[in-house]
């Protein structure tokens, strides 16, 4: 593969910054389902614990109606200051009234009255004495804000701290809500005692009605007292004003009780109207005279729609005649032009039409002259009429001016006297009305639904359906957020795309997690996987490994990983077994001299191990045959030597590999990890191919990147490096997508392997 033989340059920032969209969100939730369900279950558990331990509270609701201000009992207006209350109020006034009554219901004055009447301070919701039990003592420390700072024997009016806490508690339990679009107000209160909750609502409504009674009664009484003191002075002032008005009426010489019976003023008003009409007529006649004097038939014919011109019959007839002549002129001129174009200037009919046109034009000119003279005559007559009317008005004006001062003084005095009399009469009526309303004490508040005791088996709080619905919605949201945050902050490899981006090449293989992790002895490593997805993934990896080099299949294969615990030893054993299944001689060598695990897993102890053969050149290693896989021999590392890297890089190791190449078809080296030690780099120089194993959900991205780059830099030319993603969950989308695309090649892969073998 050409992509494997090149050193990739990968920017880890592009790998780190993954975009999460709606399509990939479900994949993230499947991968992070543990934290999602943990958060979801935690919220449900918290809600369950809260609903189990929370105090059952019952909510009682009453409903009142705020009526419009109308005429009161016995037909008397309840408003003391004017009649505005009897008029229809608009929607804004209704809204203001409702909000005002709602705020009064939630006021501290009514709250203190209800607390005092029902002795709410001694209830569990307020400052009930705590029981002497361990649980009560703990709760008393937790609910420290409910401890009264002053003794309960002190009245609330003189205990500001206790009053502040009591009002806060009462307000938190009370809910006053105007109903939109109506004049109704809902009043609700919650309490552990259902009967006490209903009593609080009913007492609060009664307190509001009593407050309304008292405010109206006080206002009525104050208005009555004030009116009685002001009425006498107002009566004396009214009598004096009426006497002065009568004297001024006698001096002006007016007939009647108002200015309309003054003959001089009436005559002046009539002359003023005549002068106005004459002036308007003169302006119209002057405009007609100017238009007629222009001599333009077009403008003159337009006077036909003028009302002033149409009022004169002779003028109207002349205007009609001009319009008729102009119409004839237009028709004859059009016919003349048409004949000239069609027959030429020598046509006899043209002379006849020209003579007819000249006659019409002379008639129009003569009629225009007559209209101009007639319009000028009408204008002179209108101007003279205007002059006469103005002179008569000025004369009458001089006569009326002599009586103006006295008439004005009389009008003012009469107006003041009438106003004073009206105020006196109105206040006298209000005084009588206030005396009646003082005993009525009516209100505009009615109770629609009094608060009733709620059923004991249906508490208002905790609301189980609501709380669980909120917990489910919040659990889904927070669980998704936690899964996304964990996915974004997780730097481990959890998908094929991330691994391929890091190595900048397709993966050689993807190995699912083993169904049973516990294996004993050598038997069962491959026989238990025959026909399973794990076995098929190993065969697919074998095929990819055989095709990883373009020249020939690799003979010496190193299996390593970035760190320990990523499954390289298991994969080495299984890979060697799969290679042996096709009839080849395979040698599995454990080259991890620092932390050997292969001998414990397969239960084989070599008489001469690898570490012994490398330390003593006189000893020759003795691989042991694995009974469950014919053709497979295993050489374990043995005891841990003091200098593993030096032994692996010694000529002795090189000679052993040279000898094994002649004896076996494939040599699989279970190598040490790349990053902790340099042993894998030393062993990799003798290999034809390297399988870099990374574990799904465990290997860090940076570790895989550094391991891959390190191997590419130090391997000999022609050696192939391929990445393998190990322990992929079988239910993950990566597993199904990878083998869903690769399933078609299983048959061809097996045939190719057999051919290569």
For 583-619, the pLDDT digits (tens) are: 899 999 988 888 888 878 887 877 788 888 888 888 8
**C-alpha span between 514 and 533 (Å, rounded):** 9
Q: How confident is the model at residue 750 (pLDDT cuts 50, 70, 90)?
A: very low
pLDDT of residue 1: 38
Q: CB 476: neighbour CB atoms within 10 A? A: 15
Closest CA to 667 of 532, 743, 553: 553
Cβ-contact 268, 397 below 8 angstroms: yes
- pLDDT confidence of residue 18: 54
Would you say residue 213 has pLDDT above 70?
A: yes
Does 664 score more than 90 pLDDT?
yes
Residue 418 · residue 237 · CB < 8 Å: no
Model confidence at 259: pLDDT above 80:
no
Is the confidence at residue 536, as pLDDT, over 80? yes
pLDDT digits (tens, 9 = 90+) for 421-441: 777 677 767 666 655 555 554
pLDDT of residue 254 exceeding 70, the answer is no
Is 70 exceeded by the pLDDT of residue 457?
yes
Whether residue 451 contacts residue 197, with contact meaning beta carbons closer than 8 Å, is answered with: yes
pLDDT at 472 over 90: yes
Q: Is the Cβ–Cβ distance between 635 and 588 less than 8 Å?
A: yes
Q: Which candidate, 425, 415, 401, places its Cα nearest to that of 257?
A: 415
Cα–Cα distance for residue pair 653/79, rounded to 1 Å:
116
Q: What is the pLDDT of residue 437?
A: 53
Is cis: bond before 618, omega within 30 of 0? no
3-state secondary structure of 689: strand
As a whole number of angstroms, the distance between CA 728 and CA 495 comes to: 9
Report the distance separating Cα 269 and Cα 397, nearest Å.
Answer: 9
Task: Report the range of poorest mean pLDDT among 270-274, 480-484, 636-640.
Answer: 270-274
Closest CA to 624 of 593, 644, 650, 598: 598
Q: Please, are residues 385 and 278 in contact by the beta-carbon 8 Å criterion?
A: yes
Every domain of the chain and the residues it spans? 279-386, 496-747
Cβ pair 165, 146 in contact under 8 A: yes
pLDDT mean over 365-386? 77
Predicted confidence (pLDDT) at residue 523 exceeds the cutoff of 80: no
* Greater pLDDT, 154 or 9: 154
- Nearest Cα residue to 197 out of 450, 466, 465: 450
Query: How many other CB atoms sit within 10 Å of the CB of residue 390?
Result: 15
pLDDT digit string (tens) for 321-367? 777 877 787 888 888 788 777 887 777 878 787 888 788 777 777 77
Using CB atoms within 10 Å of the CB of residue 62, give its burial: 0 to 12 exposed, 13 to 18 middle, 19+ buried.
Answer: buried
CA distance 744 to 218: 98
Checking if the pLDDT of 12 tops 60, the result is no
Of the candidates 610, 590, 606, the one whose C-alpha atom is nearest the C-alpha of residue 598 is 590
pLDDT at 304: 58
Q: 70-129, pLDDT tens digit by residue?
A: 544 444 444 444 444 444 446 677 788 888 888 988 899 899 999 889 988 888 888 766
d(CA 61, CA 189) in angstroms, rounded, equals: 7
Query: Tokens in use for 248?
Result: 């001024």
Backbone angles phi, psi at 590, to 5 degrees: -90, 100
Look at residue 485 in the predicted model and tell me its pLDDT: 85
Q: Taking a C-beta distance cutoff of 8 angstroms, is the pair 379, 282 a contact?
A: yes
Q: How confident is the model at residue 131 (pLDDT cuts 50, 70, 90)?
A: low
DSSP assignment string, 445-479: EEEEE---PPPTTS-SBS-HHHHHHHHHHHHHHHH
Residue 136 has pLDDT above 60, yes or no: no
Residue 488 has pLDDT above 70, yes or no: yes
Contacts of 611 (CB under 8 A, 6+ apart): 593, 637, 638, 639, 640, 641, 644, 647
Distances (CA, A) of 234 to 46, 245, 264, 275, 428: 77, 17, 36, 46, 10
4 has a pLDDT exceeding 60: no
**pLDDT of 173 above 60:** yes
- In whole numbers, what is the pLDDT of the chain averaged over residues? 76
In this predicted structure, the answer to whether residue 177 has a pLDDT above a threshold of 70 is yes
pLDDT at 251: 60
The tokens for 316 are 């109207």
Pick the more confident residue, 591 or 386: 591
State the greatest distance between any 2 C-alpha atoms of the chain, in Å, as a whole number: 160
- Read off the pTM: 0.49
Percentage of the chain lying above the pLDDT 70 cut: 71
For residues 214-239, give the mean pLDDT.
Answer: 71
CA nearest to 707, candidates 694, 696, 695? 694
In this prediction, residues 248-271 reach a mean pLDDT of: 62
Q: Are the C-beta atoms of residues 104 and 211 closer than 8 Å to each other?
A: yes
Q: Is 441 helix (H, G, I), strand (E, B) or coil?
A: coil
Angle between helices 733-742 and 496-503 (to 10 degrees): 70
- Please write the tens of the pLDDT for every residue from 293-328: 666 666 666 665 555 555 566 666 766 777 787 778
Name 444's Cβ contacts closer than 8 Å, sequence gap at least 6: 66, 67, 68, 69, 212
Measured over the CA atoms of residue 488, residue 491, residue 494 and residue 499, the dihedral's sign is positive
Q: Please give the structure tokens belonging to residue 482.
A: 């936690």
Q: Residue 253: what pLDDT?
A: 52
For residue 497, what is the enclosing H or E element?
helix 496-503
Strands 174-178 and 445-449: unpaired
Q: Is the pLDDT of residue 247 over 90?
A: no
Domain 496-747 CATH class label = alpha beta
pLDDT at 383: 80
Q: Any idea what the Cα angle at residue 136 is, between residues 134 and 138, rounded to 5°?
A: 70
Closest residue by Cα to residue 112 from 164, 172, 60: 164
pLDDT above 80: residue 677: yes
Structure tokens at 291: 């238009």
| pLDDT for the residue 556 | 92
pLDDT single digits (tens) 545-574: 888 777 788 999 999 999 888 888 888 898
Instruction: Tell me the range of 259-263, 286-290, 567-571 where mean pLDDT is highest.
Output: 567-571
Q: Which helix (H) or strand (E) holds 533?
A: helix 533-546
Are 461 and 54 spatial neighbours (Cβ–Cβ below 8 Å)? yes
- The pLDDT, as a whole number, for residue 614 is 86
Q: Greater confidence, 515 or 17?
A: 515
Contact between 192 and 107 under an 8 Å Cβ cutoff? The reply is no
Q: Is the dihedral of CA 525, 528, 534, 539 positive or negative?
A: positive
**Residue 709 contacts residue 578 (beta carbons within 8 Å):** no
- Tell whether the model's pLDDT for residue 526 goes beyond 50: no
**Bridge partners (DSSP) listed for residue 666:** 586
CB within 8 Å of 139: residues ≥ 6 apart: 130
Average the pLDDT over 632-654 and give the result: 89
* φ and ψ at residue 419, rounded to 5 degrees: -65, -40
User: Collapsing DSSP states into helix, strand and coil, what is residue 184?
Assistant: strand
Segment among 350-354, 476-480, 648-652 with least mean pLDDT:
350-354
Q: What DSSP letter does each residue of 637-678 carry, written as one string?
A: --SPPS-HHHHHTSHHHHHHHHHHHHH-SEEEEEPPPTTT-S
From its phi and psi, is residue 77 left (phi > 0), alpha (psi between -120 and 50) or beta?
beta
Structure tokens at 543: 């095929």
Tell whether the model's pLDDT for residue 747 goes beyond 60. no
pLDDT of res. 310? 52
pLDDT of residue 410: 64
- State the DSSP code for 668: E
Among 459, 452, 458, 461, residue whose Cα is nearest residue 199: 452
């Amino acid at each position: 593969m050409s992509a494997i033989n090149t050193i990739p340059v990968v920017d880890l920032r592009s790998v780190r910054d993954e975009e999460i969209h709606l399509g990939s969100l479900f994949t993230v939730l499947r991968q992070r389902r543990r934290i999602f369900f943990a958060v979801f279950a935690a919220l449900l558990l918290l809600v369950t614990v809260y609903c189990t331990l929370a105090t059952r509270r019952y909510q009682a609701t009453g409903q009142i109606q705020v009526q419009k201000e109308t005429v009161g009992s016995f037909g008397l207006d309840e408003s003391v200051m004017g009649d505005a209350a009897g008029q229809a109020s608009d929607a804004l006034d209704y809204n203001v009234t409702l909000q005002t009554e709602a705020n009064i219901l939630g006021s501290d004055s009514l709250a203190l009255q209800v607390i005092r009447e029902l002795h709410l301070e001694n209830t569990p919701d307020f400052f009930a004495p705590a029981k002497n039990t361990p649980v009560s003592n703990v709760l008393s420390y937790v609910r420290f804000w409910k401890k009264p700072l002053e003794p309960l024997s002190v009245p609330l009016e003189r205990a500001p701290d206790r009053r502040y806490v009591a009002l806060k508690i009462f307000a938190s339990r009370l809910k006053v809500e105007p109903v939109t679009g109506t004049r109704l107000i809902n009043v609700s209160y919650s309490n552990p005692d259902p009967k006490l909750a209903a009593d609080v609502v009913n007492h609060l409504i009664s307190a509001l009605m009593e407050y309304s009674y008292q405010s109206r009664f006080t206002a009525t009484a104050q208005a009555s007292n004030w009116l009685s003191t002001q009425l006498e002075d107002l009566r004396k002032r009214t009598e004096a004003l009426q006497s002065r008005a009568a004297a001024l009426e006698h001096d002006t010489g007016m007939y009647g009780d108002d200015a309309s019976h003054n003959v001089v003023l009436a005559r002046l008003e009539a002359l003023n109207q005549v002068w106005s009409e004459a002036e308007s007529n003169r302006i119209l006649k002057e405009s007609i005279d100017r238009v007629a004097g222009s001599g333009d038939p077009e403008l003159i014919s337009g006077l036909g729609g003028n009302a002033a011109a149409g009022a004169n019959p002779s003028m109207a007839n002349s205007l009609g005649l001009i319009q008729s002549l102009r119409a004839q002129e237009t028709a004859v001129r059009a016919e003349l032009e048409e004949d000239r174009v069609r027959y030429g200037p020598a046509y006899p009919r043209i002379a006849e039409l020209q003579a007819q046109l000249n006659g019409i034009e002379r008639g129009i000119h003569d009629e225009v002259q007559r209209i101009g003279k007639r319009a000028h005559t009408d204008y002179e007559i209108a101007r003279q009429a205007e002059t006469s009317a103005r002179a008569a008005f000025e004369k009458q004006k001089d006569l009326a001016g002599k009586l103006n001062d006295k008439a004005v003084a009389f009008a003012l005095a009469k107006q003041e006297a009438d106003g004073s009399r009206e105020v006196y009469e109105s206040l006298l009526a209000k005084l009588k009305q206030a005396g009646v309303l003082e005993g009525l004490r009516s209100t505009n508040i009615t109770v629609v639904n009094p608060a009733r005791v709620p059923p004991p088996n249906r508490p208002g709080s905790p609301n189980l359906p609501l709380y669980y619905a909120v917990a489910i919605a919040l659990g889904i949201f927070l669980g998704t957020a936690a899964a996304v945050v964990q996915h974004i902050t997780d730097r481990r490899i959890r998908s094929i795309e991330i691994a391929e981006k890091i190595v900048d090449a397709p993966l050689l293989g993807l190995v699912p997690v083993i169904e049973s992790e516990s294996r004993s002895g050598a038997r069962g490593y491959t026989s238990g996987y025959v026909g399973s997805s794990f076995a098929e993934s190993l065969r697919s990896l074998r095929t990819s490994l055989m095709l990883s080099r373009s020249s020939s299949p690799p003979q010496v294969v190193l299996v390593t990983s970035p760190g320990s615990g990523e499954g390289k030893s298991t994969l080495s054993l299984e890979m060697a077994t799969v290679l042996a299944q096709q009839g080849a001689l395979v040698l599995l060598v454990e080259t991890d001299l620092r932390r050997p695990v292969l001998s414990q897993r397969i239960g084989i102890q070599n008489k001469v191990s690898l570490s012994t053969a490398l330390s003593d050149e006189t000893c020759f290693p003795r691989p042991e045959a694995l009974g469950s896989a014919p053709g497979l021999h295993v050489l374990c590392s043995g005891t841990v030597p003091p200098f593993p890297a030096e032994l692996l890089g010694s000529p002795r190791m090189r000679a052993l590999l040279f000898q094994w190449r002649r004896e076996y078809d494939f040599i699989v080296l279970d190598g040490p990890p790349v990053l902790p030690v340099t042993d894998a780099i030393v062993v990799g120089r003798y290999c034809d191919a390297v399988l870099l194993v990374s574990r799904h959900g465990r290997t860090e991205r940076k570790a895989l990147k550094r391991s891959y780059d390190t191997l590419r830099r130090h391997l000999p030319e022609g050696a192939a490096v391929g990445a393998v993603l190990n322990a992929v969950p079988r239910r993950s989308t990566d597993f199904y997508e990878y083998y869903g695309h690769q399933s078609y090649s299983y048959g061809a892969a097996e045939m190719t392997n057999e051919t290569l073998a």
